[in-house]
Amino acid sequence: RARAGAWAAAARVAQGRRRVEGAGRSPSPVARSQRAALYVHWPYCEKRCSYCNFNKYIPRGVDEAAMRSCLVTEAQTLLRLSGVQRVESVFFGGGTPSLASPHTVAAVLEAVAQTAHLPADSEVTLEVNPTSAPASRLAAFGAAGVNRLSIGLQSLDDTELQLLGRTHSASDALQTLAEARRLFPGRVSVDLMLGLPAQQVGPWLWQLEELLRRCDDHVSLYQLSLERGTALFTRVQRGALPAPDPERAAEMYQEGRALLREAGFRQYEVSNFARHGALSTHNWTYWQCGQYIGVGPGAHGRFVPQGAGGLAREARIQTLEPDNWMKEVKLFGHGTRKRVSLGELELLEEVLAMGLRTDVGITHQHWQQFEPQLTLGDVFGASEEVNRLLEQGLLLLDHRGLRCSWEGLAVLDSLLLTLLPRLQEAWQQKTPSPVPGG
């Protein structure tokens, strides 16, 4: 059983159901530079899924005590380095973090709470694979401080689940979902994939309808991305399976999001849907270009190291391979493999590309925090190409800011092909490159 620490106990008393409503979210009293989300990567899985190229390993055995101690050490080191005082959400992802013991999750949360302020109602998500999470284990994660679950359900068709190399059946997934809802009501998300080889629109929509009868208040729809180096990629390349049809996938996405809308879900991001205000705070931080600290093998982070001042934000990635990562953590207190300083333009490009993924888009206030000189109107208002997108009703630029319409959200990548070069152009005009000899 999990040894619930002081923070987990306080969190249970608070029983906070913190909900964000996009732009309506009340501003935190702590400055942006002193707040962050924290991501923790558990790199192990039971079996390799045929489509997955995330940073995961199938170990013969795991030295969990060593892993736990390294996760705790790295969380403490990076929190101190960042100068972050308030952690607003924690996300245990992977790999398969539901294979970790609740004790490990509790230890990381206690360490975070001791190094920075972790409000008792902070969103703490754990990703769960159906076969590694009986109800007793889910309850123990709850006692450890987890208050939101994200279930990798992927499909409700056993043949598809087999094709994906999953270890669970559709009925296992539905059972986990029911148990999760009982233990974490209003705080359970499910991931459903679309665009699989040979998948047809009609049957996929029946899956979604079935899911809508069973699900809680958060759904993520992920279109399969066929990744080089995966078993699925090889089978498609050899002709053993048909290539996924992008037009059919687009139709599933369009019909799927319409169905979710009818069921009362708000599409608050390209792939994410919530009702009753159950948006994910953690992911919202990513899309708003807030700071986040990545702990564990292969975790990504983006924060301003203490002493760097201003907007000198760094993109960081931790060492991928777990044994090497542990050696580095034992030696240096962290396993950061790569640090790249983000330039001001790069950061603005991220603000644009990430912000437009959400239904709120980029508000004028939000943009101003990153770019006080050029307004959204200065950058985009006079561009003929952008005006065409506004006239087509794909984009909106008004007193609130810049955002995609419902139609625009489905074709964001193509909108960015116009918007990003326009931003680069406006940036160059603002800061002309020095003329040689001038």
Report the interface residues with ligand SF4, using CB under 6 A. Answer: 45, 48-49, 52, 54, 56, 94-96, 129, 152
Q: Would you say the C-alpha torsion 34, 78, 142, 152 has a positive or negative sign? A: positive
Which of 207-233 are b and which e, b meaning 16 or more Cβ less than 10 Å from the residue's Cβ? bbeebeeebbbbbbbebbebeeebebb
Residue nearest to ligand SAM (CB): 152
Backbone angles phi, psi at 21, to 5 degrees: -120, 55
x/- letters, 13..42, toward ligand SAM (CB under 6 A): --------------------------x-x-
Taking the complex as a whole, how short is the minimal distance between the CB of residue 437 and ligand SAM, in angstroms? 46
CA distances 234 to 155, 237, 238, 239, 248, Å, are 21, 5, 6, 9, 21
| Residues forming beta bridges with residue 212, ordered by sequence position | none
Applying CB under 6 A, the span of 1-9, 71-79, 220-228, 256-264 interacting with ligand SAM comes to 220-228
Q: Is 291 in the site for ligand SAM (CB under 6 A)?
A: no
Applying CB under 6 A, the span of 51-59, 138-146, 208-216, 336-344 interacting with ligand SAM comes to 51-59
Applying CB under 6 A, the span of 125-133, 209-217, 257-265, 394-402 interacting with ligand SAM comes to 125-133
To 5 degrees, how large is the angle CA 288–CA 279–CA 217?
A: 160
Residue 232's Cβ-side half-sphere holds a number of Cα atoms within 13 Å equal to 24
Q: Is 127 in the site for ligand SAM (CB under 6 A)?
A: yes
Q: Residue from 77, 101, 104, 189 that binds ligand SAM (CB under 6 A)?
A: 189
Taking the complex as a whole, how short is the minimal distance between the CB of residue 94 and ligand SF4, in angstroms? 5
Distance CA 125, CA 91 (A): 5
> How big is the chain, counted in residues?
438
Helix (H, G, I), strand (E, B) or coil at 223: strand
Q: Is 52 in the site for ligand SAM (CB under 6 A)?
A: yes
Q: Residue from 54, 206, 332, 406 that binds ligand SAM (CB under 6 A)?
A: 54
Taking the complex as a whole, how short is the minimal distance between the CB of residue 226 and ligand SF4, in angstroms? 14
Q: Which is nearer to ligand SF4, 89 or 96 (CB)?
A: 96
Q: Is 224 in the site for ligand SAM (CB under 6 A)?
A: yes
Range list of H helices, 83-163: 102-115, 135-144, 158-163
Distance CA 404, CA 397 (A): 9
| Residues forming beta bridges with residue 189, ordered by sequence position | 150, 218
Range list of H helices, 170-245: 170-183, 201-214, 231-237
By a kind-dependent CB cut-off of 5 to 8 A, residue 204 interacts, out of ligand SF4, ligand SAM, none, with none
State both tokens at 26: 């009340």
Q: Is 221 in the site for ligand SAM (CB under 6 A)?
A: no
Taking the complex as a whole, how short is the minimal distance between the CB of residue 249 and ligand SF4, in angstroms? 18
By a kind-dependent CB cut-off of 5 to 8 A, residue 160 interacts, out of ligand SAM, ligand SF4, none, with none
Q: Is 152 in the site for ligand SAM (CB under 6 A)?
A: yes
Backbone angles phi, psi at 291, to 5 degrees: -75, 145
Taking the complex as a whole, how short is the minimal distance between the CB of residue 380 and ligand SAM, in angstroms? 29
Q: Which is nearer to ligand SAM, 154 or 207 (CB)?
A: 154
> In 3D, which of 42, 30, 35 has the Cα closest to residue 325?
42
> In 3D, which of 301, 299, 339, 345 has the Cα closest to residue 319?
299
Distance CA 60, CA 65 (A): 16
By a kind-dependent CB cut-off of 5 to 8 A, residue 48 interacts, out of ligand SF4, ligand SAM, none, with ligand SF4
By a kind-dependent CB cut-off of 5 to 8 A, residue 193 interacts, out of ligand SF4, ligand SAM, none, with ligand SAM
Strands (E), 34-85: 35-42
Applying CB under 6 A, the span of 14-22, 157-165, 291-299, 416-424 interacting with ligand SAM comes to 291-299
337 CB-contact burial (10 Å; exposed 0-12 / middle 13-18 / buried 19+): middle
By a kind-dependent CB cut-off of 5 to 8 A, residue 14 interacts, out of ligand SAM, ligand SF4, none, with none
What does 2-36 look like in DSSP terms, one character per residue? ----HHHHHHHHHT----B-GGGSPPPSS-GGGEE
Q: Is 369 in the site for ligand SAM (CB under 6 A)?
A: no
Q: Is 193 in the site for ligand SAM (CB under 6 A)?
A: yes
Taking the complex as a whole, how short is the minimal distance between the CB of residue 370 and ligand SAM, in angstroms? 20
Q: Is 358 in the site for ligand SAM (CB under 6 A)?
A: no
Q: Residue from 4, 70, 299, 348 that binds ligand SAM (CB under 6 A)?
A: 299
Q: Is 300 in the site for ligand SAM (CB under 6 A)?
A: yes
Residues that bind ligand SAM (CB under 6 A): 39, 41, 51-52, 54, 93-96, 125, 127, 129, 150, 152, 154, 189, 191, 193, 220, 222, 224-225, 227, 280, 283, 292, 294, 299-300
